[in-house]
Each structure stands twice: as structure tokens, then as C-alpha cells.
Structure 1
């Protein structure tokens, strides 16, 4: 071969390029310039960070904060409009909880959006206390915020995509299954145009497979109609639905009430809506993947997916599970897309949310791996994009400090964890015959890492560095 670049791996481990099977790439890049609250330890710190952000960003007309976690605040409660009013009463402020399924807005945002006690949203909620809105908004009601959040240009979306892929390549990711096409049809078209232009310009350094979330079933067919370009770097995959919310926000749909809370979560879709969406996917022969976190939500997803006979349907997240639900995955042959990195935070709250017996059969990665095709992902920006953190948590079942272990019987082997990040990830997008292995006939996607992941202590997996990332035979990252 002429003009071939030879790279000496110098005895370092070579792996197939890693595949994150569920994330939000545009959202990951977009929030980099927002008010970052993931390190806030108190509400007063949130307020100070907000004031400093406004001072440093005087041109901002709407303030958007991300990644605050009430479990990390000393007050152990959600933000309210009164907290955010201490940042500003003149600018609309939106602060999203880390899960992305709940947010708090200030009084100015409530005024601009014309929200009141009569505002109702199916599959969502606006919290009320003492006869007034608290500013807390949940699930489908978050769509009300679209009116004041920025409508980006195709050029800006292209910048977000390239920025996110650059980070992904640095972390050893060569394939990304993204849920960026979500929400309003006009936004779908802009984001698609951004990806299409980058693909035609040969600027996509990771292989993109889209998971698509329209607002209503009949839009699904319309969305797929304007996808007029595909290649090995840009493909359009399953319908992605949301059945419930998140565990941290107490909106994941459970059979029993949350401990200490007189409610059992939110179903974001009715059974008839779920059926209509699945029928729309059937009509264009696309698989369906469903966000479901609580046991009631997961059970509902499995019951509906078993009516649609395709081997690539999946439930995304699969966190709170009974033994019966885990066995149901085997019977229905529905796949699972899970995020082992969630263990780092969720192990400290799951026993406060559900009964001990249910907590001990949850986040059951080994059982899922044994029962069905299971792939790993990050759900970035909810958690870190770094796949070796996910592998560390899957293999050790420990928190990041290494001091606390959660249900070690559900740990998977290193080999199975890598399989979940390669071959099984490729399976989810019908690409297991061309991706996920270092074999003749497979795409030239591979990485070189600085530690032999098969022969180091499992606790050191989180410290692995990527030396090279190669996509399609091209070096896209070199340390």
C-alpha cells in the first residue's frame, strides 16, 4: 500500500473503537457555555455562581443553568423560584436538575411564559405550594420553556457537533448513537442539516447514528422523509420514546410510592399514545427504544415492545428492576441500553427511594447481560462521556472513590464490559458485522490506550488514558 501511515503502539493495548449507544451530543456541547452548577454544595453557592455568571456574560438575555443536584446540596431540596429570584428578578432564569427531567425557573420566567395555576400539561407537572407556583417544572411541562430558550442556527449546531466529537475522540469513542433529533420539527431539520453538511464535508470524525424523538406519531414519518443522505458516518436509527422521568427527581414510574413521598412517579405517555408511536415505527420498519427507569415504566415498555417483532428494540436506562422484570427481558427478547456510570451517584440514593429488596435487584447489569443483548452508554451530559469510567463502575460496582461497593454480584467482567461498548453497541445500530471488532472486513476504527485493561487492577481502569483514536483509518486524536 502507498501512503500508509505506520503507528508503533509500543506494546500498548489496542482495542476496537468504543461506541456510546445513547447520549445527547448537541446538549453536551451546548451546556459548556451555560451556568454550570454540578459542583454547587449549597443553594447560597448556586446563587453566587448565578450572579457571577450574569456579571461575566452581560449580553445573555436568558440564563440557563445545568447539572445542579439537590442530593449534593446541604439543604437537600430542589431549587425554587424564590432562590433564583435572588440571582435576578430582571432576567428569565432556567436551572435544570442533573437528570434533565426537572428544572426550576424564576419569577421573571414564569411571567414571560405566562404560566399560572391553570397551566396543565399531559405527562408533566408544575409544582404548587401554598396556592402558588414554586417554579419547579417536571417532565413534559419542560416543553413550555422552548419559547424562551435560544433557537440556534445551522452554523451554531455544526460547531456544537464538532466540539462534542472532538471530546469523544479524545476519550476513545469512534461511534456515537445520539438523541439530538428531539422535539419540534423545525429544530429536527436544522440539526439534521448541520450533520448532513458535516458528513458531506467529510468533517465527522465519529460515526453518528440518530435516535429520533418526534413530538407526535405522525411527525415520525415526516421526519424520516427529509433524511435524504446517509453514509458510513451518518445514519438514522430508531424511534426514541420517553415513558417516565428520573429516579433523582422522583418522576421515574414505580409500582409503589417513593419512600417518604406520597406518589409513584409520572408516565409521560398514555398506553394509546405509546401504541400509536410504535405503530408509526412499524409502518416505516424502524426499531423502537424507550427511556424507562422505574419498574412500572420498564414493565410498560416491555409489554408494548413485545407486540412489535424486531430484534433491535430496546429499553434505555433499565434502573429499577424486580427479578420478574429481569426475566421478562429474556422472554420478550427486548435489548437493554444501560449506563454503569450512574452507579457512582445512584448507589447513595436508591435505598432512600425504593425498598431494600427492590434496590438489591436494580442496576442489574450482569443479569441483563446474561438475559439479552446489553450495550453501555454515558447519557452525556447527564454523566461523563468517558467510557472507561463506565467500564470501571460496571466491573467494580464501586463509587469513584473506590470506598463504597453496591451489589457486587451484578459486576461484569472486563471482557463483557468492552463487548458492551463495542460489539453490542454496533448491534443496536445493525452494524455488528462491520463494527466492534479488529478483524479483516471491519471498519478501521480503533484506539490505543496506555494501560493493558485486561491485566491491570480493576480499580485502575478509571485512570486509563487514550493515546490514539483512529476512525476509518484516519488518526483523529493523538495524545
Structure 2
């Protein structure tokens, strides 16, 4: 009996040794690009060697490569290799839901949005609520907010809730308002607005904090449902060349869903989670401290706070009136006392604080609060961030570098907003808006993202917009306020090493150097030699995370 036990133990150890035997892979015949060890200069290579999840070596075209007998050798077939791209500001669950709800992004009129919603509803007859996202009244001929009446014609008995493209306003039908108990006497909460018709009756449009009046009536997703949606979203993001995403504002249940996926090794890309403040149980969650999964696929060391709304829905908080809406300055979503409480509580617990600020008033308030709180908690090393940093007073721009605060910005916001931004801001304030060059020249770090599903998560759309200040039709000629363009290398860095820095991961990912994680993508077109106007059209051939292929394009 003892002999049998010893044999079984020996066999088990042999099998264990075989299972954990390191796998070395070489991908050759590639056009590889990465930032060098200084993080300032571009390095090129023709082959990449990695073992399991770590990079071993980069090779030049004239290097003699002595491959091991057990190596896996892959012919890159001349494809371009870049470090995995990082989106520093997206919303993974919302993006996943957008793949499973009415898509209104390309609706060119209120009637077209209603028609798209109706098509979706007919294809999904079992849904208790019809939800959707993506409408943008600025792109419609009359540029006016839609109304419940246009939905009521087709949805008299089923509640409908459609979020605006920026997520800062929602459009409800009368059934949804009825279920929420909305009447003419309903008052908007602080930091929100209920748009009313000429008779004072709610029109169906709810802005910022007022959206909760409707959304609290929508049945919440279970953790099981969230996990299914999150995996679907992460796989779609991987197909676009994203190997890491900073999820900008989740609640504790969403965090628990990610933790379960991480424990089950079901996460195709890396997630840096930001807990939304305030959300249910946020103080208890922060009191438990930050955590990092052993494989660094899931990290939680930051929070997301929202100071104001969005420019398109005139919710961004401005110092002076909107140029196209006299008497209106936008919305602060929290009073200064509450905002100060959230910032200081998070910093005291050792969390990086990332605050959404779009209007110049919101940005000034956030920088002022940061300045005091960073000094109080000696927390400059935590690399606090302003999410969007969209409309800045010129005199506030140098404060980012002075305070060590990162500007987490989304280039496609500029190319999407260019048709309305100057109307909202006027010819003077626009000079501090989407001001990438002014920030870079003031030594600020810009971490790039998309704010998906507000914009497409495709990072090549952002790279194109960063370099050209143009939309996908390459308009306007020479770009919108072209003096604010980034160089090709700066745009690349904002989606790689600087985005990794914004997540405290620059020693792990963001460039392809020995000892770092094998997160990379193979591309059809060469980002560094393609014409700038075609950058957005690049195709991802494969995506690798932790040395594992998580996406492969289907050959045609």
C-alpha cells in the first residue's frame, strides 16, 4: 500500500512538472514598434520572444536567432506589432449592454430613433423594458430634444428608456414616467433637470441626476447576467486591439462580478476598476482596501467621482453662461462639501481619485479640491486624474503638471463635438477646450481613452482624431483647431505607456520590453507609416494578453 502511494505521488509530481513547464514563443517576420526604456523614443524590432506571460527579448532583422527545440515559432507574415492598446476611460458593462439594446448612434432624426427602437423591440418581444442608447439631438435637423409623445405612439403600454449618446440625459415615454410616478409637480433632484414643455409638463427628457428617477424603476441585473455581458464586452474590446481598459465608475456588485470572472480566469483583457462615488456601500468597499489579482488581470485602486454633466446636454458646469443659452451655466452634480468629502475619504484610504470634469467651472473646482487634499494627505504619488478635462481656463492648464494630476482625455470627443462646442462656449472659451497641445506643452500627461459607449471603443478612431483633429471623413481640412494636434508618437504614447502610467502599471504593460507582460497586437497596416487620414481604418489581426491569444481575425 505504501509503495502504491509513493508511485502515485511521484507520478503526480511528474505530471505537475510537465503542466507548469515554461512555454517559449517566438513571433518573427514582423514590423515591431515600441517605446524604449526611456519612454521617449521609438524602438523597432523584427521578432519578439516571450516565455509564458513575460517578454524575453526583442530581435533586430540582422540578429541570429537560435531557437530552442520546444519553442513555438509563429510567422508574423510581415504584420505590424504594437504594444496592446489601453483605453484609460471606458464603461465595460454599459458597452456590453449597448450590444444588447437598441443602438441609436446613427439616428439622424427623432423619428429615425423611434423607428430603430421599434425594430429592436419587435426583435425582442419578451423584454419588460425597452432600453437603448446613442441618440444625439445635435445631429438632428431641428437640434431639439425629443419628446415622450413620439415614443407613445408606438409604445403606449411598454416602458421605454433611451440614454443620450453621452449618458448624461435620458428619453422616457409616458409609460416609463407613469411607473416612476413622474407628474407635473415632480421636482428635479439637485444636480439634475427635468425638461418641461410649454405647459410645465415633463417632456420625457431627464438630465444627469434626474435620470435616476426613471432608472431606479428598471429591474437591476443579477451578477450572473452582468458576468455574461462583461465577457461579451471584453471579447469585443479585444477584437479592436484593446488589451486593457480602465472601467470608469462601477458599483460594488459590478466589482464583485469582475472578481468572480478573475477567479474563474474568464477575463480576456485587463481591467482597472474605478469604484463610483457615491454608490451603495462605497465606504465599506474602500475600507477593505485596494487589491490586485495575481495575474494582474483585475486591479482595483481608484475611484470615480462625477463633478458635472456633459457639454452636449448643457450639463457641463461653466463659470459664465452658455453662449447659446443665456442664463444657464450647467449643472454641478454635488455641492462642494459633498465633493470634498468624497475626494478626501478616498485619498485618506490610499485610493487614486479620478473625477469627471467637463466644464471650466467643474475643472477649476476639482483642481482646487485636489490641491488642498493632495497636500493634506501627501498623496501626489497616487497620480490623481481629471476625467475628460474638456473645457479649461488657460490659467488652469499648468496646474496639471504642478499637482501631478493626469489629464484623462478622449480625442474623439473633440471630433464629435466640433459641430456644437463653439456654439456652447463662444470663440474665447473654445481656446481652452480639447486643448491637447497646450496641456502637453505644459508637461501634463495625457492618458487616452474613448469613453465608450459614448464613442466607439475602437482605439484607431482615437489615434486618428489625436493626430488630425478630423472626423472619419477627414473634415475639416487641416483639422479643427489644428494647433492642438498631437504628433503620431504622442498619440501612440497616450494609448500605451501614458495610459499604463495612469493606472500605475507602466512597469508591467504599455511597452514591449524584456520583463514586461506579453500584451501586444498584430495589425494589417503599419501605424507609423500609413497616411494619417487612413489610421482609423486599420484592422486588428490578433490580440494577445499575458502571452495568450485572445482574439484572431477570421481570414477571408
Which TM-score band applies after superposition, normalised by the shorter structure? Answer: over 0.9
Say whether 1:146 aligns with 2:209: no
Say whether 1:383 aligns with 2:451: no
Q: Give the equivalent residue in structure 1 for 2:191.
A: 123
Tell me which moved more, 201-210 or 366-375.
366-375
Matched positions, count: 473
Task: Select the residue among 314, 319, 342 that pairs with 2:390.
Answer: 319
Alignment RMSD (CA, Å)? 1.8
* 2:291 and 2:301 in contact (8 A); partners too: no
Alpha carbons of 1:51 and 1:12: their partners in 2 closer, same or farther (altered >3 Å)?
A: closer
* 1:392 and 1:461 in contact (8 A); partners too: yes
Alpha carbons of 1:336 and 1:202: their partners in 2 closer, same or farther (altered >3 Å)?
A: same
Q: Give the equivalent residue in structure 2 for 1:328.
A: 399
* 2:87 and 2:495 in contact (8 A); partners too: yes
Q: Give the whole-Å Cα distance in 2 for the aligned partners of 1:227 and 1:332.
A: 23
* 1:251 and 1:265 in contact (8 A); partners too: yes
TM-score normalized by structure 1?
A: 0.94
* 1:139 and 1:245 in contact (8 A); partners too: yes
* 1:38 and 1:98 in contact (8 A); partners too: yes
Q: How does 1:23-62 map to 2 (within 5 A)?
A: 23-62=90-129
* 1:218 and 1:280 in contact (8 A); partners too: no
Task: Select the residue among 395, 399, 402 that pairs with 2:471.
Answer: 399
Q: Give the equivalent residue in structure 2 for 1:107.
A: 174
**Structure 2 unmatched ranges of 5 or more:** 1-21, 24-69
**Structure 1 unmatched ranges of 5 or more:** 183-187
Task: Select the residue among 135, 154, 157 that pairs with 2:204.
Answer: 135
CA drift of 1:146 comes to: 3.1
* 1:213 and 1:239 in contact (8 A); partners too: yes
Q: Give the equivalent residue in structure 2 for 1:427.
A: 501
Q: Give the equivalent residue in structure 1 for 2:545.
A: 471
* 1:259 and 1:355 in contact (8 A); partners too: yes
Query: Match of 2:182, SS?
Result: coil
CA drift of 1:229 comes to: 6.7
Alpha carbons of 1:303 and 1:411: their partners in 2 closer, same or farther (altered >3 Å)?
A: same
Task: Select the residue among 303, 322, 345 that pairs with 1:239.
Answer: 303
Say whether 1:206 aligns with 2:238: no
Describe the superposition over 1:55-98 as per-residue Cα deviations: whole angstroms up to 9, x where unpaired: 22221211112100101222211111222212212111111111
* 1:374 and 1:420 in contact (8 A); partners too: yes
Alpha carbons of 1:443 and 1:459: their partners in 2 closer, same or farther (altered >3 Å)?
A: same
Describe the superposition over 1:87-126 as per-residue Cα deviations: whole angstroms up to 9, x where unpaired: 2121111111111001121111111111232333121121
Task: Select the residue among 424, 430, 441 that pairs with 1:353.
Answer: 424
CA drift of 1:192 comes to: 2.4
Q: Give the equivalent residue in structure 2 for 1:175.
A: 244
* 2:277 and 2:342 in contact (8 A); partners too: no
Q: How does 1:155-234 map to 2 (within 5 A)?
A: 155-182=224-251, 188-189=252-253, 191-215=254-278, 219-223=282-286, 225=288, 230-231=293-294, 232-234=296-298
* 1:287 and 1:310 in contact (8 A); partners too: no
CA drift of 1:264 comes to: 0.9
Alpha carbons of 1:143 and 1:211: their partners in 2 closer, same or farther (altered >3 Å)?
A: same
Tell me which moved more, 229-238 or 441-450.
229-238
CA drift of 1:225 comes to: 2.4
Q: Give the equivalent residue in structure 1 for 2:349.
A: 284
Q: Give the equivalent residue in structure 1 for 2:523.
A: 449
Tell me which moved more, 109-118 or 166-175.
109-118
Q: Give the whole-Å Cα distance in 1 for the aligned partners of 2:281 and 2:343.
A: 11
Tell me which moved more, 271-280 or 363-372.
363-372
Alpha carbons of 1:180 and 1:282: their partners in 2 closer, same or farther (altered >3 Å)?
A: closer
Alpha carbons of 1:216 and 1:207: their partners in 2 closer, same or farther (altered >3 Å)?
A: closer
Tell me which moved more, 36-45 or 333-342.
36-45
Q: Give the equivalent residue in structure 2 for 1:185.
A: none
